[in-house]
Amino acid sequence: MYRYDEFDHQLVNERVAQFRGQVARRLSGELTEDEFKPLRLMNGVYLQLHAYMLRVAIPYGTLSSKQLRMLAHIGRKYDRGYGHFTTRQNLQYNWPALKDMPDVLHDLATVEMHAIQTSGNCIRNVTSDQYAGAAKDEIEDPRIVSEIIRQWSTFHPEFSFLPRKFKIAVSGTPDDRAAIRVHDIGIQIVRDGKGEIGYEIYVGGGLGRTPMIGKKIADFVPKEDLLAYLEAIMRVYNMYGRRDNIYKARIKILVHEIGAEEMKRQVDAEFAEIRKTGALHLPAEEVARIQAYFAPPAYETLPDESTELNKAVVADRDFANWVKSNVAAHKVPGYAIVNISLKPIGGTPGDCSSEQMDAVADIAEKYSFDELRVTHEQNLTLADVRKKDLPAVHAALKAAGLATANINLITDQIACPGLDYCALANARSIPLAQQISERFADLDRQHDIGELKINTSGCINACGHHHVGHIGILGVDKKGVEYYQVTLGGAADEKTAIGDIVGPAFTEEQIVDAIETIVTTYLGLRQPGERFIDTYRRIGIDPFKESLYATH
Amino acid sequence: MAQHSRKGAQIQALTANRLADGIVVYLTADNRWSESLQDADVIEGKEAGEALLARAQPAIDGNIVVEPYLFEVVREDGNIRAASVRETIRQAGPTVRLDLGKQAELPGVHR
């Protein structure tokens, strides 16, 4: 993985020292709250319902064991023994004190971590595929481009005061696990007819109160032109993005209003202009330098079949179920990708205790080249595990309470912190996810239902990605009472879709039954081999409306 | 957003977050800041609300608390309760972690 050079170290250490001074001046009263608020936000510090919240950047979701151990340590020392992995592949602490924040950032800096680009109207932390480097059909490791964009965008003066926040996601495989079409810019790594690697560019995707699917404005941007092309997009946005209305300030509104064709025309014109005046070319040697950080680990030459694995699958039903749902194919024979579910039955999606972080760090160190990933679906991934080690990995995860076998099943839900923690929320999200998880806890039933993604957000800002859940749940406030609106048919993959609202919202007491009615309706109407989303796409919303509201 | 202060709300208290650690606090009758809603000064009517906000100002200027606002409460069996779900959660802690927040720290806070 990427290692800091002297410039990175200096940059982050200077930022910590600067923020230490700012916090001291705020506490002494030299800075007012109005002066201080934008400064704390630039360092990932929010004020939430119960306390401050610190959002730590995990660039493209990649962590070393050492870094995860530091996150565990910070959870213990400055917080309440846990952290929350988010849909932006970051980690949030819910309870840190402002006076401790400079020490927290100092501790993070010792393991090359920080909270830069986790808030404010800048280019945010770049997100990517958790299977990077390990996926079978990968064209190129998306972390290379992600790291280049990180270095280019960090503190970029031209892009530090954009009309609104800006999110970029990168996928290196045709299967999109990074939800690139619901980002401000989505980058799909592709290969052209000559075998050259380049980038397909989507722009103007996003969730929130106005969900939009990104429009493709370039089929193939050559490698060396990527930053210049992104710069062209950012300039068009910086020029025409609406600064007068926060709800219309994202690039998705601009693209929607002028249309994809016009957006493409403007970006191409700006790109041509940039080229005339000396475009920023990506030097091949710099790309090679960064690429070297993501060189494949020292894989052993192994047979693809593992007798240890095969025996364990036969002998242990729990293990077999876990392999079935949580283990994915790896590009190297004899290896597998392990997904660690942070969705125990009845638990809080994405929460992880400091003890569990330490356990995962130890497992990653021993079995997966000392490295792991955070997924945007709020789980963790060990990308490079020998198949013969899977029984030992499973046992170690089980001991840490992390062997829930439910990846992509109905209990593997995304949920934002909601009204239990968040100052913006209208309704709670986590208790709903917990109740749904408990209702569908039976594993045989989960497997019978098959792949089904339920995403819950506690407000219209959609941190819980409800628009792109196969079943989406949005919490709303009606005169101080929580209600839940349901959407169906959303998807965040290569066939991205925004869900359709099924009808009037449900009360907290009704919502879990409503979800069960939706699932039962699907089970009654599905054809062999269909997942929920396939059935929905075939039959549409009407049968679900009917079963949900017919008796009301 | 779940409402803090409804139109026509009659009984209100004043809350803020402590600057140094962000913890939720309530303004008391003797102008202290308590972590317990049960200690809060409870007022009725618009003018009394404005007076309560004015009494918070020295603590804003003195960098003790931030983001003060009025919210609706009800009196019930001699206890003060927040009227909205949001303020109930702020007062007690996350409903999904009963071991955390004021519900774990202050006996009887959630009566």
Give chain A's length.
552
Q: Which chain A residue has the Cα nearest residue B86? A: A419
Does A29 sit within 8 Å of B24, measured CB to CB? no
Interface contact A420, partner B, CB < 8 A: yes
Specify if A477 maps to a domain: yes
Q: How far apart are CA A214 and CA A145, in angstroms?
A: 19
- Residues in chain B with CB shorter than 8 Å from the CB of A430 are 94, 96
Q: Give residue A287's domain range.
A: 134-293
3 state DSSP class of A411: coil
- Residues in chain A with CB shorter than 8 Å from the CB of B17 are 47, 51
Task: Give the model confidence (pLDDT) of A497-508 as tens digits.
Answer: 999 999 999 999
Nearest residue to A322 (alpha-carbon basis) of A330, A308, A312: A312
Q: How far apart are CA A229 and CA A279, in angstroms?
A: 9
* Environment class of A458 (CB within 10 Å of its CB; exposed 0-12, middle 13-18, buried 19+): buried
Question: What type of residue sits at position A130?
Answer: Q
- Residues in chain A with CB shorter than 8 Å from the CB of B37 are none
Does A419 sit within 8 Å of B86, measured CB to CB? yes
Q: How far apart are CA A45 and CA A92, in angstroms?
A: 10
- Residues in chain B with CB shorter than 8 Å from the CB of A348 are 96-97
Does A424 sit within 8 Å of B90, measured CB to CB? no
Distances (CA, A) of A103 to A39, A74, A90: 16, 10, 19
- Residues in chain A with CB shorter than 8 Å from the CB of B24 are 49-50
Does A49 sit within 8 Å of B89, measured CB to CB? yes
- Residues in chain B with CB shorter than 8 Å from the CB of A424 are 1
In this structure, are A163 and A268 located in the same domain?
yes
In this structure, are A203 and A255 located in the same domain?
yes
In this structure, are A311 and A261 located in the same domain?
no
In this structure, are A73 and A209 located in the same domain?
no
In this structure, are A100 and A170 located in the same domain?
no
In this structure, are A96 and A188 located in the same domain?
no
Percent of chain A at pLDDT > 90 equals: 95
Extract the residue ranges of chain B whose pLDDT is less than 50. 1-4
- Residues in chain A with CB shorter than 8 Å from the CB of B96 are 348, 420, 428, 430-431, 434
Which residue of B1, B6, B60 is in closest CB contact with A426?
B1
Give the up-direction half-sphere exposure of residue A438: CA atoms within 13 A in the CB hemisphere. 10
Specify if A59 maps to a domain: yes
Specify if A123 maps to a domain: no
Which residue of B3, B21, B24 is in closest CB contact with A99?
B21
Q: Which chain B residue has the Cα nearest residue A420? A: B94
B interface residues, A as partner, C-beta within 8 Å: 1-3, 6, 17, 19-24, 60, 62-63, 66-67, 83-86, 89-90, 93-97, 100-101
In this structure, are A141 and A269 located in the same domain?
yes
- Residues in chain B with CB shorter than 8 Å from the CB of A28 are 63
Which residue of A26, A50, A430 is in closest CB contact with B24?
A50
**A&B contacts, CB < 8 Å:** 88
In this structure, are A289 and A430 located in the same domain?
no
- Residues in chain A with CB shorter than 8 Å from the CB of B90 are 49-50
Which A residues in the span 235-254 are in contact with B, Cβ-Cβ below 8 Å?
none
Q: Which of the listed residues A263, A293, A323 is the one where a domain comes to its end?
A: A293
Nearest residue to A459 (alpha-carbon basis) of A131, A230, A209: A209
Interface contact A47, partner B, CB < 8 A: yes
Q: How far apart are CA B73 and CA B81, in angstroms?
A: 5
Alpha helices in A184-300 (DSSP H): 226-240, 251-258, 260-276, 284-293
| Domains held by chain A: number | 4
Angle A101-109/A65-78 helices, nearest 10 degrees? 160
Strand-strand pairing, B24-27 and B33-34: antiparallel
In contact, A423 and A47? CB cutoff 8 Å? yes
Q: How far apart are CA A141 and CA A128, in angstroms?
A: 10
Query: What pLDDT, on the 0 to 100 scale, is given for residue A281?
Result: 83
Does B20 sit within 8 Å of A99, measured CB to CB? yes
Nearest residue to A510 (alpha-carbon basis) of A456, A548, A472: A548
Using DSSP, how many helices (H) and how many strands (E) does chain A show? Answer: 18, 21
Interface contact A345, partner B, CB < 8 A: no
Specify if A500 maps to a domain: yes
In this structure, are A11 and A90 located in the same domain?
yes
Tally of CB atoms within 10 A around A493 = 17
Does B22 sit within 8 Å of A51, measured CB to CB? yes
Which residue of B20, B66, B89 is in closest CB contact with A33?
B66
- Residues in chain A with CB shorter than 8 Å from the CB of B101 are 50
Q: Which chain A residue has the Cα nearest residue B89? A: A420
Specify if A301 maps to a domain: no
Query: What beta strand segments (E) does chain B contain?
Result: 11-18, 24-27, 33-34, 43-44, 65-76, 79-82
In contact, A119 and A42? CB cutoff 8 Å? yes
Specify if A406 maps to a domain: no
In this structure, are A385 and A439 located in the same domain?
no
Q: How far apart are CA A125 and CA A57, in angstroms?
A: 7
* Interface predicted TM-score (ipTM) over 0.95: no
- Residues in chain A with CB shorter than 8 Å from the CB of B93 are 50
Specify if A62 maps to a domain: yes
- Residues in chain A with CB shorter than 8 Å from the CB of B95 are 420, 428, 431
Specify if A38 maps to a domain: yes
Nearest-Cα distance to chain A for B14, in Å, is 15
Query: What pLDDT, on the 0 to 100 scale, is given for residue B105?
Result: 84
- To which residue do tokens 């400079």 refer? A102
Q: What is the CATH number of the domain that holds A453?
A: 3.30.413.10
Nearest-Cα distance to chain A for B39, in Å, is 18
Q: Which chain A residue has the Cα nearest residue B92? A: A50
Q: What is the CATH number of the domain that holds A348?
A: 3.90.480.20
In this structure, are A153 and A257 located in the same domain?
yes
Which residue of B24, B63, B85 is in closest CB contact with A480?
B85
* Interface test with chain B among A35, A348, A419, by most B beta carbons within 10 Å: A419
Question: What type of residue sits at position A444?
Answer: D
Q: Which of the listed residues A109, A143, A178 is the one where a domain comes to its end?
A: A109
State how far Cα A495 lies from the chain centre: 17
Extract the residue ranges of chain A whose pLDDT is less than 50. none
Nearest residue to A5 (alpha-carbon basis) of A140, A126, A133, A151: A151
Query: What pLDDT, on the 0 to 100 scale, is given for residue A479?
Result: 84
Nearest-Cα distance to chain B for A253, in Å, is 23
In this structure, are A145 and A271 located in the same domain?
yes
Which residue of B2, B66, B89 is in closest CB contact with A477?
B2
Give chain B's length.
111
Query: What pLDDT, on the 0 to 100 scale, is given for residue B3?
Result: 46
Nearest-Cα distance to chain A for B9, in Å, is 13
Nearest-Cα distance to chain B for A487, in Å, is 20
Q: Which of the listed residues A236, A270, A293 is the one where a domain comes to its end?
A: A293
